[in-house]
């Protein structure tokens, strides 16, 4: 890989800026200063430092975002701010959200350029757990919970016209929020369009606030405010099966 591309992937600057930085001796390759930014390096084995900081090579990038309300889970949008717009200091080329959250749904979103991981997480055959904190308009009964856990009709149809019920789910009551709205944790294994909202409508209730708190082995970092993000930890990557 060319040195200027490697530095660019670490958001050091534009190619023109990087050329000047390297010329001024701010970059070392294996402890030796270099003067040309277009030289080729072995990104996997050479030690590259910039202003004394070692820069490591990563084939793929993984970020946990606490998605805020009003932001769309897309790479581009003509009207609304996207989740990629929130990663202002990162090189977002190739990054995609692993699944989508509705514009008014907040919480855990994984952003990565690892297409293989996205495919594994979103494959219907994998049945990856997703847990949501759901604030409801009115109380939920034990009978309602049984319906949700056994599968409800949210309007989707099979090829033969029969209702395509949701898969088995798990519901846990969590008391009430500051506004007196009942709160549940709902764990599902699918990602149908507006699924959680439609499930609540199927039992005669309505979602007033929705937040995703887990996605597969990932748990939303409580230290992240809305709109903040961080790289995944080594432990989180291992749990995702990323080497």
Q: Which residues are catalytic?
A: 102
CA 168 from centroid of its chain's CA atoms: 24
Distance between CA atoms of residues 6 and 155, nearest Å: 50
**60 by DSSP, 3-state: which?**
coil
Round to whole Å and give the CA distance between 4 and 38.
Answer: 6
Q: Whose CA is closest to 97, among 85, 107, 108, 112?
A: 112
Task: Tell which residue, 219, 197, 229, 191, has the closest CA to residue 100.
Answer: 191
Helix or strand (DSSP H, E) at 117? helix 115-122
* Residues linked to residue 67 through DSSP beta bridges, in sequence order: 107
Structure tokens at 13: 């600057």
Beta partners for 66? 108
Ramachandran angles phi, psi of 109, nearest 5°: -140, 130
Kind and range of the H or E run holding 148: helix 142-150
What does the block give as tokens for 16?
A: 């023109």
Hey, what's the torsion of the CAs at 150, 154, 155, 158, to 10 degrees? -40
């Amino acid at each position: 890989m060319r040195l200027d591309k490697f530095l660019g992937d670490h958001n050091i600057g534009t190619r023109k800026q990087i050329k000047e930085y390297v010329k001024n001796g701010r970059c070392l390759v294996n402890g030796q200063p270099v003067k040309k930014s277009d030289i080729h390096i072995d990104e996997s084995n050479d030690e590259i430092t910039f202003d004394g900081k070692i820069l490591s090579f990563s084939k793929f990038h993984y970020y946990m975002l606490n998605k805020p309300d009003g932001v769309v889970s897309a790479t581009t949008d003509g009207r609304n701010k996207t989740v990629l717009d929130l990663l202002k200091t990162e090189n977002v080329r190739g990054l995609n959200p692993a699944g989508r959250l509705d514009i008014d749904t907040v919480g855990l979103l994984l952003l990565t350029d690892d297409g293989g991981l996205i495919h594994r997480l979103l494959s219907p055959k994998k049945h990856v757990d997703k847990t949501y904190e759901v604030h409801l308009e009115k109380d939920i009964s034990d009978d309602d919970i049984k319906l949700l856990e056994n599968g409800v009709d949210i309007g989707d149809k099979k090829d033969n016209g029969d209702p395509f019920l949701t898969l088995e789910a798990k519901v846990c009551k969590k008391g009430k929020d500051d506004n007196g709205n009942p709160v549940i944790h709902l764990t599902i294994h699918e990602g149908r369009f507006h699924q959680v909202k439609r499930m609540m409508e199927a039992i005669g209730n309505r979602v007033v606030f929705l937040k995703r708190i887990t996605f597969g082995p990932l748990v939303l970092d409580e230290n992240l405010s809305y709109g903040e993000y961080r790289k995944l930890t080594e432990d989180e990557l291992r749990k995702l099966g990323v080497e």
